[in-house]
Structure formats: C-alpha cells, structure tokens
Amino acid sequence: MQLDLPIFLNLLLIGLFQGAIYSLISMGLTLIFGTVRIVNFAHGDFLMLSGYFVFWIWAILGMDPLLALPVVFSALFCIGYLTERVLIKRVLGRPTHIQMLMTLGLSLIIQNSVIVLWKADPRYVHTSYADLRLEFGAVAVPFPRLLSFILAMVFALTLHLFLLKTTYGTAIRGTGQDQEAAHLMGINVNKIYSLSFGLGISCTAVAATLLSTYFPLSPFLGASFMVITFIVIILGGLGNYLGAFIAGLILGTIEVFTAYMLSPLLRQTVPLLIFILVLLLKPEGLFGRELRR
C-alpha cells in the first residue's frame, strides 16, 4: 500500500484514537491488578455492561452518551465496589486458578445475563454528531472519534492527578507498592481494594461511553478488546497505569498501520510479536520497574 502524507496523518490519528480506548480499558485493568493483585477476566464484560447502560439511558431517556457519562461512571463504580466486597474478597490470597475461576465465571454470568435480559441483538446509539467529519486539508477525522480521544486524555489526566494528589490516590498507590506497609501506616487495605476495583471498573464505563458514539454494542463486545488489553497491560508493565496508557496508544497506532500496510489479518499478530519480543528482552514490560518478589 502506498503511503502519502495525508494518509499517514490520517492513519496516525485513527491509531491514536483507537489506542486511547485501549489505554482507558487497560488502565482500569492494570489498576486492579496493581492494587488488588487479581487478574480480572471479566473486565471486557464490564465494558460491555457499561455500553448497555449507556444504550438504555439513551434509548429510554434520550440522553446523549456524554451527558450520561457521570451516571454510568457512578453506577459502574458502585457495581465494581460491591463486586469486590461480595465476590473478589473471598478469593484474595487464594491460589491463582481459584481467582481465575472466579473472574472467568463472573464474565460468563455477566455475558449470559445480558443475553437473557436484552437478547443478543446488536444495539447502536445514534447521536446528533455521529456523522460529523472535520476536514483539515486532506486529513479528515470523524468527529466522534476525535471527541472520544480528547475526553479519554482528559480522563486519564484526571485519574493520574487523583492517584497522585489525593489521600485516597496515595493510599491506592501505597497499597499497590506494599500492602503490609500500607496496613501498618493505618490504611484500611480492604477498603482500598474495593475502591480500586470500583475505580478500575469505572474506567470501562468511560471507555464504553466513548465507544458507544461510533461502535455497535453486543453481548460479545468485550472479546473484541480483551486480547489487545492484556497485551497493553503487560507491555506497560503490570500494575503501571501510566505505562498502560502509553502502551495503549502505541499498540493502537501499530495496529492501524499494520492493517493498512500489511494485512488486516495481521492486526493482532504484529502486536503479539512485539509482545513476545518484549517478554524475551524486557520481561517487566516497556515501562515496568524490575520485578518484585
């Protein structure tokens, strides 16, 4: 495929836009792993569930997804918080396979409940700005994508500031670094676990809201995003949310260029190859610190 400047810029933008969504989903997943130390295999299903919340708020109340964002964010935060309280708490500190069964089971339950409740039909949210295209000379970008990119950046920055500047944020980071020390410092570690899980899940609410402005929803939505998300969090260094943020943008861009220049079939193959190379050469991930025991 030939590559002139406008096409290059177009691909770069689309890659960054797509990457921003990966970043958001991955930041949530890595935040949960970094603090609670559990791999949440149901993450993609929370993403899908958020999407349905956005859809129903839009379909029933006619509310624009972006206006519904605070509602969906809060709802998913509560769901995440309670999930940790009721289910995840029971498997913390247990062998990995038990934790895996718990989150995989949760994934199946969420997915099948959605199928039973709302059927497997795809859903699409129609917004007034869905068809807007912004043209800068030969470079044209779909407005919903640009908007979701900007909002993703804003959210990532907010999350970063929250974790850096607030007491709760410091407590989350502290618990992630050393639970025991955090405990000794008077941090209620159990509460921080629930909080982190809730926060991690509500990242999917933001991603789903932004996605819903241009992507069709279905009960199987999670599957389209989860493979790449796991690559992103490992490349970013497990538990490192800033690493995940940057790795998401990089992988999104690589994916788009691969699909255009080589073949759409290699869309996921090239990121996987990079992933294997990184694991071989820098197993702690691109932005990970040295592995701790």
Partner 1 sequence: MKPIWTRKEAITKIQGTIIVAVVVIAAVAGGVAWTFTTPPKPPQVTPTTTVAPRVDEVRIGILAPLTGAAAYFGDGMKAMSELLAKKINDEGGIKSLGGAKIRIIVADTEGKPDVGKTQTRRLITENKVHLIIGALHSGVTLPSAQESERYGIPFICDASSHVDLTRQGFKWFFRTWGSDAIFARNYFECMKWMQNKTGVKIRTVAFISEESLFGVGVATEWEKLNVDPEMGGYKLVAYIRHPASPADVTSEAMTLKAANPDVVLSVNTPMPDAILWTKTLKAVDFFPKALMTTAGFIFPEYISSVGKDGEYVIGREGWSIDLTARKPIAKEINDWFKKEANRDMHVYTMQMHTTITVARDVLERAASVDPEKLRQALASTDIAGDKIIPPWKGVKFDNTGQNIYANNFMVQLTKGVYRAVWPEEIATVPLIFPAPTWKDR
Place of tokens 């708020």: 57
Residue 186 C-beta: closest distance to partner 1, Å: 43
Tokens at 169, concatenated: 């944020």
Closest approach, Cβ 127 to partner 1, in A, equals 12
- At its nearest, how many Å lie between partner 1 and the CB of residue 264? 4
Give the other-Cβ count within 10 Å of 166's Cβ: 11
Q: State how far the Cα of 53 lies from the Cα of 68, in Å rounded to an integer.
A: 9
Least gap, CB of 116 to partner 1 (angstroms): 13
For CA atoms 120, 47, 33, 270, the dihedral sign is: positive
State in angstroms the smallest separation of the CB of 214 from partner 1: 6
Tokens 């206006």 belong to 67
Question: Based on CB atoms, which residue is closest to partner 1, 75 or 234?
Answer: 234
User: Token pair of 285, please?
Assistant: 């991930």
DSSP 8-class letter at 178: -
The residue (of 121 and 180) whose beta carbon lies closer to partner 1 is 121
11/192 with CB nearer partner 1: 11
Give residue 217's region: left, alpha or beta (phi > 0; psi -120 to 50): beta
Point out which residues bind partner 1 (CB under 8 A).
1-2, 7, 10-11, 14, 18, 21, 120-124, 126, 130-131, 133, 140, 142, 145, 214-218, 220-221, 223-225, 228, 255-257, 259-260, 263-265, 267-268
Toward partner 1, which CB reaches closer, 90 or 133? Answer: 133
